[in-house]
Amino acid sequence: MSFIAFREVGFRYGEKEDAGNSILRGLNLEIARGTFYVLLGPSGCGKTTALNLLAGFETPRSGSVLVEGRPVQQPGMDRVVIFQGDDSLYPWLTALENVEFPLRMTGRGAAERRNRAEAWLARVGLANHAAKFPHQLSGGMKQRIQIARALVCDAPVLLMDEPFGALDAQTRTILQDELVDICAGSGATVLFITHDIAEAIILADRIGVMRAGPGSAVKDEFELDLPRPRNRGSVEFAAVYDRIQRVLGEEVQKVVMREAAA
Amino acid sequence: MSTAIAKLSGQGFAHHLTWLVLRVLPFVGMILLWDFASRAFDVPVLFPGPLTTWNKAVELIAEGQLQADILISLWRIAIGFVLGSLLGMTLGLMMGLSRPIADTLGPFVHTLRFIGPIAWISAVMMWFGLGETSKVILIVYTTTFVVLISTMIGVLTVHPNKLRAARVFGATGFRLFAHVTLPAALPHVLTGARLAMMNSFMTIIAAEMVAARQGLGFLIFNSRQWMEVDAIFVGMITLGLLGLLADRLMALLTRLLFRRFRPADA
Amino acid sequence: MSVRISRGVMRGSGAVLLFLVAWEIAGRTIFVPAVLPAPSAITAEGWARWLSGALQWDALMSASRLAVGFTAGSLLGAFLGLLFGAFAPVRRILEPLVQFLRFIPPIAWLTPVLIWFGIGEEGKWVLITYTTTFMVLLNTLAGFAEQHRDRMRAARVFGAGSWDIFLHVRLPATVPWILGGMRIGMGNSFQTLIVAEMLASNEGLGQLILNSRLQLSTEGMFVGIAGIAVLGILADSAFRAATRRLFHRYRLGW
């Protein structure tokens, strides 16, 4: 039995089922413990919805989302989330206090909180900015705060919803490499959402490509056995990129055609 | 003091001087214009100039009249403002957090919003007497509405990701409210409070004009009986200065006490 | 979704109904009519005044004063605001004065206005015009303070001169602010008008409230208060509906 499993998961907003409003239909996905799984797909394919279901922010209309065989009921510290953008950070707390937040909620002592938070801030390179407020920091730094905040929880599952989407290409590259390092050490199981193929190949042990919506599911999966650290310029990288691009490209094309028609 | 002067000259004394002159010039200009207009109008009783007004102010201060009026007006505002802010914040939080409460109180809030406090002055005086209580109640009334609406908006516009993140980290129920919703809504509450302060000034002046024996509003309106337009001007300018002071004070306090809760671009 | 809306409406209506019933009972049993009349008594009084035409007269007087002052004030306020916005030296000289005068409540001006213009309609018009002008001016200034740097740069790229930029970039951006200022100005003006009518008028809703009390007709006072609520809600709704339609391109958000 897999650590994380989506079994025939369906999701839609609204009451009645019709062709148009179904976001996910018959989604099947298995993620083994310790895997870095990247979900790739065109816009609107429901990959964020899949993450929200696993996080416990939404409940599936049909099918089930299981962790260690038990259905997901609600959000919890065992499945921490890194959100897209910086809206989940608390602007009235400093970087350090933001990272301490989960520890405060679980009742850790002040000294332990500060030590662990400071350690993780240093790990993501923000040691000198611990006392700053989010609005004083760049987009990349704010994402690092989120990473530190999530990892300070020592959770078995990490959920990341296009965390680097709003950042410039250089910062994205740097953070991707750092994330690989951090996650390798932690042994966590990761579900990472992106629409960027290169990002997926850098990060993933396994990649799932989703169909274009509505009523989307996983189209194809790729097991990546490229040695780490992965070189974006290598021939092997390009070969994998090409294979994935063929599969994803078809789906992206469908979205483009649909948008042009409407 | 010497360090201040040293700093000034360091940063360009000329620059600071120009800045000061530019700020003061409009007022000097206006006072000169006022003087010119009053002379041109040539009916000193009806339109006194700056000098006459100044003399009247000195006279009122010497009698202790102006200070007494100022203190009374401010006192009424202060109490009403504090009580109204607390009430408005409480109701606003309740309405923002609970759909049933918002639905139930909604019709009342959205109707009463259109009835200004002074419309109630006769009723309030009948029920609570002619003393300070009535005035304070009117201030509470107007403050409550402004703060209530701002607070409600603050609660309703908390970004869902903030709440989701908190739920992931184990904060639910009261802890979610205390650690996330409340701090997130606070900037709106503070904006509402600042707005309510200005409304309170307007209300107290109106209330004092209609039904009081003391206060700046009374000073202004009552002076009409004696055609003492200079006293009227004194009252109005004092009012403007007080309002300005109160507003700046609130901004300062917000900056000092609530440094963490200001919007990022404030 | 449709079920949820009616539940909210049901709660609201239920609360209002409960409140009215409680008030009716309290008005008849606990309180003397002079202190707290029942809604039925107030309605009866209102109906009587409507039949006699007195209520319409008072409401119309208030509404007309508001309309005159609001129209004049909006035009003047928008004009001044645009003037300040177009000519930086004007703004730099006059804005500090405006930022000071805003702290003198408009109602305070009633006193000099009464002395200079007397008790007639002109005084009310001047006062309401001032109140509206100020609010619209302040809002217009705030609207002009926004930078829109990229929009202006785009315009310049496409060949716009300074005047074109003012007309086609900065001015349209200010429209929502002007309208917002008008909406707030209307509310402020109405409140100021009521006080002015209490202090210096023989007709109008404000006068109705004060004089009813003096004549020991608390019912009449509540009729006045209700009239104010109705007039205020109508005016605001009409304004919102009209502007939403006329200015739908600006996505006004009300």
Q: What residue of C is the nearest CA neighbor of B246?
A: C103
Backbone angles phi and psi of A221, in degrees to 5: -125, 150
Please report the residues numbered 172 through 191 in chain B whose beta carbons come closer than 8 angstroms to any beta carbon of chain A. 175, 179-180, 183-184, 186
- Bridge-based pairing of strands A22-31 and A36-40 is unpaired
Q: Do B170 and A102 touch (CB under 8 A)?
A: yes
Q: Other C-beta atoms within 10 Å of B158: how many?
A: 18
Report how far residue B35's alpha carbon sits from residue B41's, in angstroms, rounded to the nearest whole number.
Answer: 10
Only one residue has tokens 């905040």, namely A149
Q: Are A100 and A172 members of one domain?
A: no
Q: Which residue has the higher pLDDT, C43 or B265?
A: C43
Domain edge (last residue) among A154, A180, A199: A154
HEC readout, C14-79: HHHHHHHHHHHHHHHHCCCCCCCCCHHHHHHHHHHHHHHCHHHHHHHHHHHHHHHHHHHHHHHHHH
Q: Are A46 and A171 members of one domain?
A: yes
Q: Smallest CA–CA separation between A249 and chain B, in Å?
A: 31
Is pLDDT at C74 greater than 90 in this prediction? Answer: yes
Domain of residue A118 covers 89-154
DSSP conformation class of A137: S
Q: Smallest CA–CA separation between C219 and chain B, in Å?
A: 11
- C8/B contact by beta carbon, under 8 A: yes
- C175/B contact by beta carbon, under 8 A: no
- pLDDT-derived band of residue A120, with 50, 70 and 90 as boundaries? very high
CA A3 to chain centre: 17
Q: Are A28 and A69 members of one domain?
A: yes
Q: Are B29 and B100 members of one domain?
A: no
Percentage of residues in chain C with pLDDT exceeding 70?
98
Give the domain CATH number at B54: 1.10.3720.10
Q: What is the pLDDT of residue C193?
A: 95
Q: What is the pLDDT of residue A201?
A: 96
Q: Which of A29-33, C155-159, C192-196 has the lowest mean pLDDT?
A: C155-159
Report how far residue B123's alpha carbon sits from residue C35's, in angstroms, rounded to the nearest whole number.
Answer: 8
DSSP 3-state percent helix, strand, coil across chain C (nearest 5): 85, 0, 15
Q: Are B35 and B68 members of one domain?
A: no
Q: Smallest CA–CA separation between A241 and chain B, in Å?
A: 32
Residue B226: strand, helix, or coil: coil
Sheet with strand A79-82: strands edge to edge = A79-82, A157-161, A189-194, A36-40, A206-210, A218-223
Report how far residue C195's alpha carbon sits from residue C236's, in angstroms, rounded to the nearest whole number.
Answer: 19
The one-letter amino acid code at A250 reads E
Sheet with strand A70-71: strands edge to edge = A22-31, A4-12, A62-67, A70-71
pLDDT digits (tens, 9 = 90+) for B254-265: 888 888 887 544
Q: Are B37 and B100 members of one domain?
A: no
- C3/B contact by beta carbon, under 8 A: no
Q: Are A107 and A142 members of one domain?
A: yes
Classify residue B64: in a domain, yes or no: yes
Domain edge (last residue) among A137, A154, A171: A154
- Bridge-based pairing of strands A36-40 and A62-67 is unpaired
Q: Do A81 and B165 touch (CB under 8 A)?
A: yes
Query: Chains near C, with 3+ CB pairs < 8 A?
Result: B
Q: Smallest CA–CA separation between A221 and chain B, in Å?
A: 29
Q: Are B110 and B188 members of one domain?
A: yes
Q: What residue of C is the nearest CA neighbor of B245?
A: C103
Is pLDDT at B7 greater than 60 in this prediction? Answer: no
DSSP string, C145-173: H---HHHHHHHHHTT--HHHHIIIIIHHH
- B161/A contact by beta carbon, under 8 A: yes
Q: Are B90 and B152 members of one domain?
A: yes
Is pLDDT at B98 greater than 50 in this prediction? Answer: yes
Report angle CA B87, B123, C189 to the nearest 5 degrees. Answer: 75
Domain of residue B120 covers 49-261
- pLDDT-derived band of residue A3, with 50, 70 and 90 as boundaries? very high
Q: Are A139 and A234 members of one domain?
A: no
Percentage of residues in chain B with pLDDT exceeding 70?
94
Domains held by chain B: number: 2
pTM of the predicted protein model: 0.88
Best mutation target among B114, B134, B150, B241 (most C Cβ atoms within 10 Å) is B114
Q: What is the pLDDT of residue B238?
A: 93
- Bridge-based pairing of strands A218-223 and A206-210 is antiparallel
Could you tell me the residue ranges of all domains in chain C?
1-30, 37-250
Chain B residues in contact with A57 (beta carbon < 8 A)? 164, 167
Structure tokens that stand for B24 in this block: 């003061």
Classify residue A83: in a domain, yes or no: no
pLDDT digits (tens, 9 = 90+) for A38-84: 999 998 889 999 999 999 999 999 999 999 999 999 999 999 999 99
Q: Which residue has the higher pLDDT, C215 or C20?
A: C20
- Bridge-based pairing of strands A189-194 and A36-40 is parallel
- C1/B contact by beta carbon, under 8 A: no
Q: Are B37 and B117 members of one domain?
A: no
Q: What is the pLDDT of residue B266?
A: 36
Q: Are B144 and B233 members of one domain?
A: yes
- C234/B contact by beta carbon, under 8 A: no
Chain C residues in contact with B27 (beta carbon < 8 A)? 96-97, 100
Q: Are B57 and B156 members of one domain?
A: yes
The fold adopted by the segment(s) C37-250 is MetI-like fold (1.10.3720)
Q: What is the pLDDT of residue C5?
A: 64
Out of B175, B186, B260, the one facing A105 most closely (by C-beta) is B175
Helix (H) or strand (E) holding B53: helix B50-63
Q: Other C-beta atoms within 10 Å of A1: how many?
A: 7
Q: Are A68 and A176 members of one domain?
A: yes
DSSP conformation class of A227: P
Backbone angles phi and psi of A193, in degrees to 5: -100, 135
Question: Could you give the angle at which helices A169-186 and A139-151 cross, rounded to 10 degrees?
Answer: 10
Q: What is the pLDDT of residue B225?
A: 87
Q: Are B8 and B135 members of one domain?
A: no
Q: Do B209 and C110 touch (CB under 8 A)?
A: yes
Domains held by chain A: number: 2
Residues 6 or more apart in contact with residue B92 via CB below 8 angstroms: B147, B148, B149, B150, B151, B152, B154, B155, B189, B192
Q: Are B65 and B173 members of one domain?
A: yes
DSSP E strand boundaries for chain A: 4-12, 22-31, 36-40, 62-67, 70-71, 79-82, 157-161, 189-194, 206-210, 218-223
Q: Are A209 and A106 members of one domain?
A: no
Out of C15, C108, C199, the one facing B236 most closely (by C-beta) is C108
- pLDDT-derived band of residue B10, with 50, 70 and 90 as boundaries? low
Domain edge (last residue) among A103, A120, A154: A154
Q: Are B225 and B257 members of one domain?
A: yes
Query: What was the ipTM of the complex prediction?
Result: 0.89
Across B226-251, average pLDDT: 91
Q: Other C-beta atoms within 10 Å of C237: how many?
A: 10
Structure tokens that stand for C44 in this block: 């009866």
Across C23-50, average pLDDT: 91
Nearest to A164 by CA among A139, A189, A145, A181: A139
Q: What is the pLDDT of residue B11?
A: 63
Chain C residues in contact with B111 (beta carbon < 8 A)? 229, 233
Q: Do B264 and A135 touch (CB under 8 A)?
A: yes
Classify residue A216: in a domain, yes or no: yes
Classify residue B266: in a domain, yes or no: no
Give the domain CATH number at A71: 3.40.50.300
Q: Smallest CA–CA separation between B69 and chain C, in Å?
A: 15
Q: Are A147 and A163 members of one domain?
A: no
Residues 6 or more apart in contact with residue B115 via CB below 8 angstroms: C225, C228, C229, C232
Classify residue B91: in a domain, yes or no: yes
pLDDT digits (tens, 9 = 90+) for B24-44: 777 888 888 888 888 887 777
Q: Do A76 and B168 touch (CB under 8 A)?
A: yes
Residue A202: strand, helix, or coil: helix
Sign of the torsion formed by the C-alpha atoms of C4, C5, C6 and C9: positive
- A73/B contact by beta carbon, under 8 A: no
Output Rg (C-alpha) for chain A, integer angstroms: 19
The strand pairing partners of A11, in sequence order, are: A24
Q: Are B253 and B197 members of one domain?
A: yes
Phi/psi zone of residue A211: left (φ > 0), alpha (ψ -120 to 50 degrees), beta? beta
